[in-house]
Amino acid sequence: MGAEIAELASMGATAVVQAMATDAWADVRLRVAELFRRVEADAPAEAAAEAPAETPAEAADAAETPAPPRPVEEPSPAAPPETSGSSESSDEVTARWQASLRGLLEQYPEAAVELRSLCEELTGEAAGKLTEGVVGESAGEVAGELAAGPDGHPVPPVRNSVTGGLQGHVIQAASINSLTFHASSLQSALPDPDGWPRAEDVDPVALGVRPTHRIPALPPLPPYVLRDRDDALIAAVTRAREAGGLVLVLGEPFAGKSRTALEAMAQGLAGFRVFAPARGADLRGLPALLQGRPGRYVLWLDDLDGHLGDAAGGGGGGGLEPRLLARLTALGVTVLATMREDAYDEHRHTPHGRVLDLATVVELARGWSPAERARLAQRAGRTGDRRLVDALCSSGPEGAAAYLTLGPLLWDEWWRARRADRHPRGHALVRAALDLARCGLRGPLPMDLLVKVHEGYADVTGMDREAVPDAQAWARERRHGLLRFLVRGTGDTWRIAPFLLEAAERQDTLPPVDGRIWRFALAVARTDDTYDYPSVAATAREAFRRAAEAGDDTALHNLGLVAESLGERAEAEEWFRRAADAGRPESAGRLGRMLADRGEGKAAEPYLELAAELGDAEAATLLGKLLRERAERWLGVGREGGNMEAACLWGDLRLAAGDDNGAFESYYDAIRAGCTEAAGRWASLLLLWNDRGTAEVWLRRAADSGDKQAAQRLRDHFDAVSPYSIDLELREDADEGKPLAAANFGIFLECRGRPEEARPWYEKAYESGDPHGAFRLAELHKTADEPAEARAWYRKAAALGHPGAERALDEGPGEDGSGDTVIG
């Protein structure tokens, strides 16, 4: 390395000294000085501290003032040498420059590329302009006449000795003072071509190919699938291999331009060394760098619009322009580039885009043809690469390349949107569709369902900052003009985009589907014939088993629900028992009902009581019924044993059960045993049987004994009440909209032979939600021999739950004339 530095420093010194006597010296001086200035500016602080106090710029300011020469032994790489003195030979000046340049190269090796380029330019262009020196085979002298210096004093003649054999050029000057040099700066030093990778060894991702989803044990990129334009591209690359030139792959974003071009490069330019500069890098030094090298080279310019420019300064400095392309072509360099169509249209007719006129353009479509999809299917089948299989199954008009490369980008966008300052509600809406699809519901789902499900994500915060319509718009927006997170079905139904579902199956960042969402999914699958409920239930069972093994008590309850829905009652009971024992009240209620249905009421009671105490109304009701049955049993035993209180309470239970005769007998037994409360209950039963005389006697007897209920019944049933007062009271209640009052007033009118007056009150009752109003209207139509109208009102009453209307529909003939009921 030291010998190479010495040789380059010698070449540079000779070229610079020779240029001093030419018309190009002013430009050379500026370029060399700029080289020292730039290196000085890039030097570390400690190197700058050791540099001379005078910078090249300061030396330029003092260029008219002679300065003593710097000793050769103490060169400074941070500034060019000062040249002065009348007796200094050209060899001495050259030696000083050589020492300074060598010090520069030893401390800053990256300056070698620029210095070499400068040397090649000077030896080729400036040599013809040098002042002619003395050329001979023997020693000679060059003498000048005395001349006056700036101060008017005579300046000694310059004597330059030339010895040795054939000499090139000799500089003759009275004096050379401190000089400042400037050169156009390169954006970066170019790397050694010997270190450039070969075309078949390059990393496609490092050279611009967008990565797909990574799958363990598989290469970073899926296998390449041949495109329809590959033959044309290979042909263009082959021609450029022989003669050099620019080959441009043109297409829309995400068309697969970079991957296709690199595959063509690996195939058509095998063995070539590849240089892939950064966007905006200065390429002007490439020809000089590659001049005379024996290898073959390819310049890779992904997104060519970032590398366009005029080397003369007209459009970007050191980018690719026609003259630079011509120099590279002359060296046999192949330039392979990609470019988006919109960028091509933008730069095509601009000054810095003139190089596009020289390109061989191969257009690549983003959408895949049937032939390309057929090759994709073959490749996916042969390799089994999951990414190709997904692209084959799920990609659409956007093309397989766009599908593969956009997936990771959009997954990242959706996942980061969960933060409160982004789109948390939109993220949750998409996640609801994604989780339901993970449960097996992969078809379109109502937006109302997604809205209901998405509210339950406790780990997504800040949803109150984003309105639901805004979140829906964000989730349905087309990304890069191609893919959406949610894809519309029919109407207001939506399904998750396939690329998100496929990505979720490979990610470990997404938590397992929550049991709450599984219950939504099971409810939908059970009522929607689109889905196979047993299949969804089987998947849910496995998910719940894993959660239960991890200690989730809720999963035990969910396992019971799944087993119960599949008719596996024994297994369901076991899961509910485990969950109830773990303190789950909903499981206790379920288990209690199962035991009660099986006739094990006593075993069911503690579970029902646990659920009832925590607000389970159904469990409380069932527990009351079970307790009533047990109470009736034991009160019956007490009655048979002659206990009058047991006889009275047993009569209440029998009356509530509809057993009037059993209640009558029990009350009578209690009365005979001296129970005054039984007298009032017995009298109430007589009223039901319309035995008013006997009932009044017993009511008065009970009232006299302090039974307040009996006294109230006496007032209600035996005090004189005129029909007019009843009419007025019922009308007032109906006018005020009291519950059931409109129907009651209609019944009052109908009972008094005024059915037409009753109709509007029945209609009002029906409109208020009282099914009895519809039922009475049906009865009026039936009496009037209007079966169709009667049946219509029976249906309305039945829809509101009226049992009499339901019986009437079941008993009556169908509308089609058959005996079967037809309910539409």
Return the pLDDT at 704. Answer: 66
Give just the sign of the alpha carbon dihedral 539, 542, 545, 550: negative
**pLDDT (mean) for 729-748:** 81
Return the pLDDT at 164. Answer: 40
Greater pLDDT, 595 or 151: 595
pLDDT one-digit tens code per residue, 769-810: 888 889 989 999 999 999 999 999 999 999 988 888 888 888
**pLDDT (mean) for 378-392:** 95
pLDDT one-digit tens code per residue, 321-351: 999 999 999 999 999 999 999 999 999 989 8
* CB distance 622 to 608 below 8 Å: yes
* CB distance 471 to 457 below 8 Å: no
At residue 52, does pLDDT exceed 70? no
Q: Helices (DSSP H) in 614-675: which residue ranges?
A: 617-640, 644-656, 660-672
Greater pLDDT, 767 or 803: 767
Cβ contacts of 464 within 8 Å, gap of 6 or more: none
Band of residue 627 on the pLDDT scale cut at 50, 70, 90: confident
The CA–CA distances, whole Å, from 598 to 75, 407, 485, 602, 624 equal 106, 54, 49, 11, 17
Greater pLDDT, 168 or 282: 282
At residue 67, does pLDDT exceed 70? no
| Percent share of the chain, pLDDT over 90 | 46
The 10 Å CB-count burial string (b at 16+, else e) for 83-120 is bbbbebbbeebbbbbbbbbbbbbebbeebbbbbbbbbb
**pLDDT (mean) for 589-597:** 89
At residue 392, does pLDDT exceed 70? yes
Return the pLDDT at 813. Answer: 53
Beta-bridge mates of residue 251: 340, 364
- Write out the two tokens for 662: 């059993």
Average pLDDT over the chain reads 81
What region, left, alpha or beta, does residue 642 occupy, with left being phi > 0 and alpha being psi -120 to 50 degrees? left
Distance in angstroms between the alpha carbons of the first and the last residue of the chain: 98
At residue 703, does pLDDT exceed 60? yes
Return the pLDDT at 105. Answer: 82
Residue 186 CA, distance from chain mean position: 41
How many other CB atoms are there within 10 angstroms of residue 824's CB atom? 4
At residue 163, does pLDDT exceed 60? no
C-alpha–C-alpha distance, residues 321 and 217, integer Å: 44
* CB distance 701 to 679 below 8 Å: yes
Cβ contacts of 4 within 8 Å, gap of 6 or more: none
**β-pairing verdict for 360-364 and 245-251:** parallel
- Highest-scoring range by mean pLDDT, 19-33, 588-602, 716-730: 588-602
Return the pLDDT at 39. Answer: 66
- Write out the two tokens for 540: 């849910």
C-alpha–C-alpha distance, residues 616 and 267, integer Å: 73
| Residue carrying the six token digits 């040397």 | 119
Band of residue 681 on the pLDDT scale cut at 50, 70, 90: confident
C-alpha–C-alpha distance, residues 331 and 299, integer Å: 12
What DSSP designation does 248 have?
E
* CB distance 130 to 167 below 8 Å: no
What DSSP designation does 197 have?
P
Greater pLDDT, 743 or 819: 743
Return the pLDDT at 407. Answer: 92
C-alpha–C-alpha distance, residues 701 and 680, integer Å: 8
Return the pLDDT at 370. Answer: 96
Cβ contacts of 581 within 8 Å, gap of 6 or more: none
**pLDDT (mean) for 143-168:** 43
Q: Give burial (CB, 10 Å; 0-12/13-18/19+) of 289.
A: buried
Amino acid at site 233: L
C-alpha–C-alpha distance, residues 640 and 635, integer Å: 9
Give this prediction's pTM. Answer: 0.58
pLDDT one-digit tens code per residue, 533-581: 999 999 999 999 999 999 999 999 999 999 999 999 999 999 999 999 8
Q: Give burial (CB, 10 Å; 0-12/13-18/19+) of 378.
A: middle
Band of residue 62 on the pLDDT scale cut at 50, 70, 90: very low
Q: Which of 282-291, 627-636, 713-722 has the lowest mean pLDDT?
A: 713-722
| Residue carrying the six token digits 């040098």 | 130
Q: Give burial (CB, 10 Å; 0-12/13-18/19+) of 785.
A: exposed
Per residue, what are the HEC states of 682-698? Answer: HHHHHHHCCCHHHHHHH
Instruction: Residue 572: name the closest of 582, 581, 564 by CA.
Output: 564
pLDDT one-digit tens code per residue, 418-473: 999 999 999 999 999 999 999 999 999 999 999 999 999 988 999 999 999 999 99
